[in-house]
Structure 1
Amino acid sequence: MNQIIENAFVKVEVSPHGAELQSIFNKQFHLEYLWQGDPAVWPRKAPVLFPIVGKVKDNQYTISGKTYSLSQHGFARDNAFTLVSATDTTLVYRLTHSEDSFKNFPYEFELDISYSIEHSILKVAYKIHNSSGTSDLYYSIGAHPGFRCPLVEGETFEDYYLEFEKAEKLNRVLLDGGLRGDQTEPVPLTNNKLPLSVNLFGSKDAIVVSGLHSERISLKSNKSVHGLHFDYKNYPWFGIWSKPGPFVCLEPWMGVADDIHAAGDFIKKESIQFLQPKAEALFTYSIELF
């Protein structure tokens, strides 16, 4: 059963399937901000990417000489989470290793995903715990929320732009079958703004960049006052994606897809995260509606 948290400003709905956001509704403006899914375009809304971000080459990887298989973005988004705590304004969901998970990912873990609201801000946190007392844990995790674009009736996708908090020189890694290719391409900004257009995506897929200085990216319109601030910190990679319109995904990543030359060694994977036995890590982001 889906759970709802709300206050005077926002109402948020979450499904136990993948602990995935289902709605971010601004009660003051009567506006839905989250993409509502469409099987003909993109059926998901805000999947959590774990234990990999993107693809591993040939959907396979090795640990200590043994080969395992994982499909794009991992299995968390397709698993049932357990609701471990709930209040009027907070929810915490948990996914734990199992005999099934060991078939594709040979590590003991607990993944807690929490949602909390304060005024018009939704805060999201990922806590990863290495449940093993003897073995290290290697993993990646990332967010993939899709936002309605346009937000307001009568506007178009091209009426919107992304505004970066700081000056950036975006250099996207061009993808090859979902893997990072050898080619890069600059993505020009004007006054820290990236105008949205169908041509940004299409056959080129996502805009994948690393090393951003900004810790806030805002989705804004040229025609209305409504949009959102997306705040994140200490994520080495960021993805921006549409298929194309009427949505845009803002994706902070602790990890990235393999490149086309990857040898498959999971422990040597680009930007792989590491936890010692019984250790844990916390990653957060937030969405402020306006």
Structure 2
Amino acid sequence: MFTIAVQQQQYKTYILSDETAGSQLEVVPERGGIITRWRIQGQEIFYLDTERFTHPDLSVRGGNPILFPICGNLPDNVYTYNGQQYILKQHGFARELPWEATESKTEDKASLTVVLNSNEQTKAVYPFDFQLAFTYELQGNTLEVRQEYKNLSSTPMPFSAGFHPYFLCGDKSQLKVNIPSGQYQDNKTKKTQSFDGNFDFNQDEIDFVFGQLTSRSASVIDNSRKLELHLDYDDFSTWLVFWTVKGKEFYCLEPWSATRNSLNTGENLTVLEPGASYSASVRLRADFF
């Protein structure tokens, strides 16, 4: 049985449930369209800094933030389009703006669609008319995010997009990370290193970007929580970023459509023609063992 309830917490919160599987999603449209919580049989899959979440002026650290129209940061937060300079903060603005819940369904799954439209605030930093429509689907122990990016401008619209999910973890030394790439770039040193599946979690921060992906699936086994997390993505996602901070109970495994600074370099940039749309999907599955 699938249900969707609405609760007025600090923000209006939509709670999607698969009661048979004992799984739940919490979505807060007005706080960046974000999924804040994902539970299976009472076990939290996502990490959430609940104190930070109460401050609207701070970015959310937890859940599944949406990255658009850039992933990562630009040098000095600046990009140039048609000879004009614009300023965009790290990961773009979609995760900071209010989205609108537009449609919900409870037939074969629990699903909720949230929409973000361009406005004067977005066009000041990103001079395009657009509509994003993301549908969150919960069924069993699987969460799927179906995305539609639509260019409503009269000119081609360049962008990159992705997600920044925070996964709650136990002892990081008991994590087994399976990413389909033989190398990564360390974002701190900008050096490229070979990857054999092992990380040194004694570092203060790990910020590694993986390209040249050889399959459409990655996974992380958390032996301390007896949890295996699977991430499946389509051809839109060309990079995976693994990020974590020492002493924090999370790791992030982030599917990105392009790497940092793509608005300036054009590398893996998606360009939508006027009136065109693009659909993509990311699927997460959490298995306890």
What interval of TM-score do these two structures reach, taking the shorter chain for normalisation?
0.7 to 0.9
Aligned mate of 1:186, from 191, 194, 206: 194
Tell me the CA shift for residue 242 of structure 1: 0.7
The answer to whether 1:252 aligns with 2:255 is yes
SS in 1 for 2:245: coil
Q: SS of the residue aligned with 2:121?
A: helix
Whether 1:5 and 2:6 are equivalent positions in the alignment is no
Instruction: Give TM-score, length-normalised by structure 2.
Output: 0.84
User: 1:223 Cα shift?
Assistant: 4.8
* SS at 2:173 equivalent: helix
Count of residues paired in the alignment? 262
> What is the identity, as a one-letter code, of the residue corresponding to 2:121?
D
Q: Indicate the larger mover: 69-78 or 44-53.
A: 44-53
Note the residue ranges of structure 1 that are not aligned, 5 or more in a row: 151-155, 260-265
Pair 140,104 (structure 1): closer, same or farther in 2 beyond 3 Å: same
Q: Could you report, residue by residue, the CA deviation over 1:248-267 in whole angstroms, capped at 9, with x for unpaired residues?
A: 111111111129xxxxxx36
Aligned match of 1:149: 169
Partner of 1:57: 75
Give the secondary structure class of the aligned counterpart of 1:104. coil
Alpha-carbon separation, structure 1, partners of 2:51 and 2:147: 27
Within the candidate set 171, 175, 195, 2:187 is matched to: 175
User: Scaled by the length of structure 1, what TM-score is found?
Assistant: 0.84
Describe the shift of the 1:78–1:160 C-alpha distance in structure 2 as closer, same or farther (beyond 3 A).
same
Please tell me whether the aligned partners of residues 55 and 257 of structure 1 are also in contact (alpha carbons under 8 angstroms): yes
1:197 Cα shift? 4.5
Question: Which residue identity is paired with 2:172?
Answer: F
Q: Flag the 1:222–1:119 CA change in 2: closer, same or farther, 3 A.
A: closer
**Structure with larger RCO (C-alpha < 8 A, sep 6+):** 1
Q: Distance in 1 between matches of 2:50 and 2:176?
A: 23
Separation of aligned partners in 2, 1:279 and 1:34: 33
Equivalent pair of 1:157/1:197 in contact (CA under 8 Å):
no
Cα deviation for residue 135 of structure 1 reads 1.0
CA change 1:146–1:221 in 2 (3 A) is same
Deviations 1:102-133 (A, max 9, x none): 1000011101111001222111122100112x
- State the AA in 2 paired with 1:147: F
For 1:32 and 1:44, locate their aligned partners in 2 and report how far apart those are by CA, in whole Å. Answer: 12
Secondary structure of 1:101's counterpart equals helix
In structure 2, how many angstroms separate the alpha carbons of the residues matched to 1:224 and 1:20? 25
- Correspondence 1:44-123 to 2 at 5 A: 44-88=62-106, 89-123=110-144
Paired residues of 1:138 and 1:267 also in contact (CA < 8 A) = no
Q: What corresponds to 2:44 in structure 1? A: 32
* % identical equivalent positions: 25
The answer for the alignment partner of 1:153 in structure 2 is none
Amino acid at match of 2:250: F
Q: Is the 8 A contact 2:184 2:195 kept in 1?
A: yes
- The answer as to whether partners of 2:164 and 2:254 remain within 8 angstroms in 1 is yes
Q: Where does 1:182-261 land on structure 2 (aligned, <5 Å)?
A: 183-189=191-197, 194=198, 197-199=200-202, 202-203=204-205, 205-223=206-224, 225-234=226-235, 235-244=237-246, 245-258=248-261
| Residues 61-99 of structure 1 deviation map (CA, whole Å, 9 limit, x = unaligned) | 111111110010000000000111112300110111101
Q: Name the structure 1 match of 2:56.
A: none
CA 1:38–1:207 in structure 2 vs 1: closer, same or farther (change >3 Å)?
farther
Q: In the aligned structure 2, how far is the partner of 1:52 from the partner of 1:146?
A: 18
**Structure 2: runs of 5+ lacking an equivalent:** 1-11, 53-59
CA RMSD of aligned residues (A): 2.2
Native 8 Å contact 1:4 1:14 kept in 2? yes
